[in-house]
Structure 1
């Protein structure tokens, strides 16, 4: 299962294809790799389709809007070919449509890769992996992890402050001036509570030996196993194989330069 892969290796396996896909401007390469990502997402993870589609759908609308604007304002380097149709003053050419589709598919690949990592990775294990495998200083990683743990409490405190204001007769803001005043009433208590909590956490961490020493020992040690390297090889190897296939089929296009066999 992908959830058992070492988080640092998994992040590298997600990052390398993302960088390579950013250079691809053809339709075939991101399309086939997107199908591959969807396949491993539902074959080798326990992510439910309903949860995945809820998180994926907002990005889909964003990608469609981005593709639409790209089709209308494609630069002369990437546009070209026959004119397919007109939209107001814009001439939509074959090159513009292909560039927009390629951009949309690459964006969908980025989103699906991000969801694959986010939904199968434990934040604590990821921080430990960054310290143990990537040698990131503990002072930074534990600070990030502590800040991440604060996010749910900020939401709870915000709801508590808002309910307390309503009980005391403070109504909802209607105009811009009232909204700014309301924002100040909310943000000052939140910042004060956040500072106090950060001080308590810092004192507690120092008392328990979290001094930022890079030579510290770990209760939970994460190791890189053979399956982690196999996952990295699979994610990068499949993309390279698709790029070779696109090259021999005559679709390969890198940074706007079409390369044919």
Structure 2
């Protein structure tokens, strides 16, 4: 069972597409939106992504749970930009050295839309991808070094153990009477000592895993063979084409509307 895919996502259409194609489509959209800060390109991309969202096979509950950090980040970025962004236009609100203008509000909206348009498809596409299939594709199709890819895959597989270790440490400390303090300072000290214990445990497990992988030949320089063949077919080509189409349409709409603005200019 994958640590990312849930049972109802295994049968979705996007879940059956090679993760490399999904990664390529997300990168095309992200790189296009990173080049500019305007609300038209980000808004158009977000609308097109929303139209394609039902094909991901993600329920409403899963969508909101998985994308909650993206929405929080978008709101936080918008507030920070509105308060401390470049001032232009009429002043809407002022408090001491903090000024909110029409220009900073427009910029805040563009930033929020861009965070959503970049973050949401990345989260959804990753949620419908199996890490092992992604590693196979990166090594076989993209030709990334096998040692790097397999090491990253092993580290990703340990994320679940990382969470379990944190819970086990908390229960062990509570059993010894070290986790009952409600004082904020005591809580911070407990988290600090528990985090240090988790770091030591993680380093020990990582060194053991590295030794085991070296013993099994994962660190060799010879060409590797793969148990699963990673293929890039018509569905994968269509996925990349959809990502390119979203990027081109969003950029074209921004250029036609006159809002396209390179961030490096």
**Alignment deviations for residues 93-127 of structure 1 (CA, whole Å, 9 cap, x no partner):** 33222211111100111221221222111111111
Which shifted more, 123-132 or 202-211?
Answer: 202-211
Q: CA deviation at 1:30?
A: 0.7
- State the match for 1:96 in structure 2: 104
- State the match for 2:94 in structure 1: 87
Match of 2:79, SS state, is: helix
Aligned to 2:171, which of 163, 171, 185? 163
1:187 is aligned to 2:196:
yes
**Alignment deviations for residues 142-180 of structure 1 (CA, whole Å, 9 cap, x no partner):** 211112222222322332333233333434344747854
- State the match for 2:35 in structure 1: 23
Match of 1:128, SS state, is: helix
1:46 is aligned to 2:53:
no
Q: Aligned partners of 2:36 and 2:226: how far apart in 1?
A: 42
Q: CA deviation at 1:12?
A: 1.9
- State the match for 1:137 in structure 2: 145
Match of 2:120, SS state, is: helix
Q: CA deviation at 1:217?
A: 1.0
- TM-score, reference length from structure 1: 0.82
Match of 1:32, SS state, is: helix
Q: Aligned partners of 2:41 and 2:124: how far apart in 1?
A: 19
Q: Aligned partners of 2:152 and 2:124: how far apart in 1?
A: 21
Q: Aligned partners of 2:200 and 2:246: how far apart in 1?
A: 50
Against the structure 1 CA distance between its residues 199 and 6, is the aligned structure 2 distance closer, same or farther, given a 3 Å change threshold?
same
Question: Which ranges in structure 1 are unaligned for 5 or more consecutive residues?
Answer: none
Q: CA deviation at 1:207?
A: 4.4
Question: Which ranges in structure 2 are unaligned for 5 or more consecutive residues?
Answer: 1-12
Q: Where do 1:1-261 residues align within 5 Å?
A: 1-42=13-54, 44-75=55-86, 79-81=87-89, 83=90, 85-89=92-96, 92-173=100-181, 174=183, 176=185, 179-180=188-189, 183-184=192-193, 187-188=196-197, 190-191=198-199, 193-213=201-221, 215-255=223-263
Is 1:74–1:96's contact at 8 Å kept on the other side of the alignment?
A: yes
Against the structure 1 CA distance between its residues 229 and 87, is the aligned structure 2 distance closer, same or farther, given a 3 Å change threshold?
same
- Number of residue pairs matched by the alignment: 251
Is 2:21–2:237's contact at 8 Å kept on the other side of the alignment?
A: yes
Q: CA deviation at 1:128?
A: 1.3
Against the structure 1 CA distance between its residues 253 and 161, is the aligned structure 2 distance closer, same or farther, given a 3 Å change threshold?
closer
